[in-house]
Structure 1
């Protein structure tokens, strides 16, 4: 008997028993809740922060113009490796659509978010480029506001279960005077089996 037949047969049986891959509608996802953070947690936290910010009046510019916002540091103080842009991007999109705030990609804590802001300006005085299309000096917009924050995780033992608490903390600073004009904390609390992994 060919020694590969049992291997192929086992692989075929495992594939037949595996759960089929399928699409999930984020708006109607009733799947199991994980102890770790998933996209539903980021959606919930971002929506809560956005609605609170818009209703607070902090981004209502008396002049009627849109505020220019820079994104500062969003610290991940959890046991998980997460990209904080998953939270911030949803807030940025909501603010842009509100018509009240636009985000600059030319300024960031670690340099420009979009390096092309600087690269495009290096074309000045280059004989290879039509200078009429090159960005002029003094055209970048300085930010009025800065968004910063932290995501915190706390784990607790509750009888024979574990409780995992996530706190999404955000501050909006007026860069003219350094004052926080809006602050928000959205808690997301989960309780489940102490065998569940929370990192």
Structure 2
């Protein structure tokens, strides 16, 4: 009976050691973020700083191109078209484009229409809901927008976010994100401005980029 108990203990120790080794092997490439290394922590994903930098770079390029300089002064009307996320990540493209929209408005060179857009999230439904109140006796009709008051856009802003993964060495991989934007003249169909901003992330090739 004693030999049986001792054998069982030895088996238990072996199993425990094997389990510990397995856990160690699985977590050998994982480093927890602490107060000491938080500033050095790098994620393969896009964070708020990446959005800020890519959006600002695109905005600077757009304003420097003079594409929004309207002859005789005034502002162009810009509609936000589709911005396609062609990466392995879930990216809030509206958050990225929002920063560019704000910059265009603050520049005094453009206004953004929310009456029409490539993504329904950028359309203000109240514009049309209020117009359905025409003929409703509960509302003063002279306060309701009449027909022919909406402005059609002069330009559309469309884009795409791409991802490229490349190995740079034995234990490293480089993940690159490309923000490509195009400003198109609605009437002529001609692109007046294009830009590509790049965000690069370097890390272990055993890490995932999503």
Q: TM-score range by the shorter chain?
A: 0.7 to 0.9
CA distance in 1, matches of 2:34, 2:191: 49
**Uncovered stretches (5+) of structure 2, i.e. residues with no partner:** 1-32
The equivalent of 2:12 in structure 1 is none
Q: What is the TM-score with the length of structure 1 in the denominator?
A: 0.83
| Residue pairs, 1:97-112, within 5 angstroms | 97-110=106-119
Alignment equivalent of 1:178, drawn from 170, 189, 197: 189
CA distance in 1, matches of 2:152, 2:39: 43
**Deviation of 1:31 (Å):** 5.3
CA contact (8 A) 1:149 1:170 kept: yes
How far does the alpha carbon of each residue in 1:41-89 deviate from its partner, in whole angstroms, 9 at most, with x for none?
Answer: 1111100000000011000001211100000000000100111012100
Which structure shows the higher helix fraction?
2
C-alpha RMSD over aligned residues: 1.8
SS of structure 2 residue aligned to 1:149:
strand
CA contact (8 A) 1:151 1:167 kept: yes
The equivalent of 2:146 in structure 1 is 136
| Residue pairs, 1:10-159, within 5 angstroms | 30=39, 32-110=41-119, 113-159=123-169
Aligned length: 174
How far does the alpha carbon of each residue in 1:129-169 deviate from its partner, in whole angstroms, 9 at most, with x for none?
Answer: 11121111111111000000100011112211011010000
**Deviation of 1:183 (Å):** 0.2
Change (3 A) 1:100 1:106: same
**Deviation of 1:110 (Å):** 5.0
- Looking at CA atoms only, which structure, 1 or 2, has the larger radius of gyration? 2
User: Runs ≥4 in structure 1, deviation > 2 angstroms?
Assistant: 29-33, 109-112
How far does the alpha carbon of each residue in 1:4-54 deviate from its partner, in whole angstroms, 9 at most, with x for none?
Answer: xxxxxxxxxxxxxx979xxxxxxxx94522111111111111000000000
CA contact (8 A) 1:68 1:102 kept: yes
Note if 1:169 corresponds to 2:180. yes
Q: What is the TM-score with the length of structure 2 in the denominator?
A: 0.78
SS of structure 2 residue aligned to 1:36:
coil
**Uncovered stretches (5+) of structure 1, i.e. residues with no partner:** 1-17, 21-28
